[in-house]
Amino acid sequence: MRIVVNGQQAFGAEVFNALLKRGEDVVAVYCAPDKPGAGPDPLRQAAEAAGVPVRQPASFKTPEAVEEMQSLSPDLMVMAFVTLFVPEPVLNAPTRGSIQYHPSLLPRHRGPSAINWAIIGGEDTTGVTVFWPDDGLDTGPVLLQREITIDEDDTLGSLYFDKLFPVGVEAMMEAVDLVRDSDDPPKLMQDETQATYESWCRKDDVEVDWGKPVTEVYNLIRGCDPRPGAWTMIGDERVSLFGARQVEGDESAQPGKLLDVSDEGLLIAASGGAIRIERVGIEAGKLDACQWAQDTGVQPGAVLGAERPAVS
């Protein structure tokens, strides 16, 4: 089959390289336009190193985008981490259509931050879906799915890089085989009654409320580690929190109270327990939490977080 790869970043590059290693005929690569001041996209670098033509359109919503895709005479477009919307005229240009990776068990967690929200929500399973995209947002029929366990100490980083990334690459290879080997590959309609959608997980969404149950606080912090970084106010400084562990604590302590500073990090009270933080993020970068506290003079007894109205 003549394959077009559309994607970006390390996942896109890994899918591209895996296809080449299998001897697939990758005729072109599409990736996101270069960002000012940023280095070249890893997928672009991989394609250029392999001598595969690269295209970086600002939009696929043009007649020229359709014509260009058609000119490649592709059989399949493989979409690996795509954030730029691709409309159906382009999706349908390959003779066998287009398939796309998504890091959740669709129809749950449609949207761009599926991994964050699954952890923040305290879920114990997620997965990988390869589906046939359409003009909706993650709404197309499913080709295949793989379930993955979310361990209680998983962060966004560990869940993605240790689990969803490698399983996703394998799933994309299996999906290519399914399309090649069948005249009627699976197209299972998503159950709209089970669908959820969450938008981007952004910095403004992830301020820690220490008055919430300790497990909710823990899930929020690990679900934003390393990005976007759950945060709290310490004095007049916004501080992001990383390397969280949920531990036993004085349940009578005021939520947000800094209970201890040690080589293990900051111990902070939350409702029903405490959270230990190993690293903090400030404007200058990420630092060891204990060292940061010593350098700034933050002492046990300080109360973290914005003041909130009492609940009557």
One digit per residue, pLDDT tens: the chain, 312 residues?
Answer: 999 999 999 999 999 999 999 999 999 999 989 888 888 999 999 999 999 999 999 999 999 999 999 999 999 999 999 999 999 999 999 999 999 999 999 999 999 999 999 999 999 999 999 999 999 999 999 999 999 999 999 999 999 999 999 999 999 999 999 999 999 999 999 999 999 999 999 999 999 999 999 999 999 999 999 999 999 999 889 999 999 999 998 889 999 999 999 999 999 999 999 999 999 999 889 999 999 999 999 999 999 996 544 433
Give yes or no: residues 180 and 90 share one domain. yes
Give yes or no: residues 184 and 232 share one domain. no
Give yes or no: residues 156 and 190 share one domain. yes
Q: How far is CA 21 from CA 92, 102, 130, 173, in A?
A: 26, 23, 20, 11
Give yes or no: residues 21 and 83 share one domain. yes
Domain that holds residue 254: 203-296
Among 143, 173, 194, the domain-final residue is: 194
Give the total number of structural domains in the chain.
2
Task: Assess if residue 311 is contained within a domain.
Answer: no
Give yes or no: residues 230 and 188 share one domain. no
Q: How far is CA 154 from CA 158, 225, 227, 242, 269, in A?
A: 6, 9, 14, 12, 21
Give yes or no: residues 131 and 11 share one domain. yes
Per-residue DSSP letters for 171-216? Answer: HHHHHHHHHHH-SS---BPP-GGG--B-----GGG-B--TTSBHHH
> Which residues, at least 6 apart from 228, have a Cβ–Cβ distance to it below 8 Å?
201, 202, 203, 205, 206
Give yes or no: residues 169 and 227 share one domain. no
Tokens of 193: 């009654």
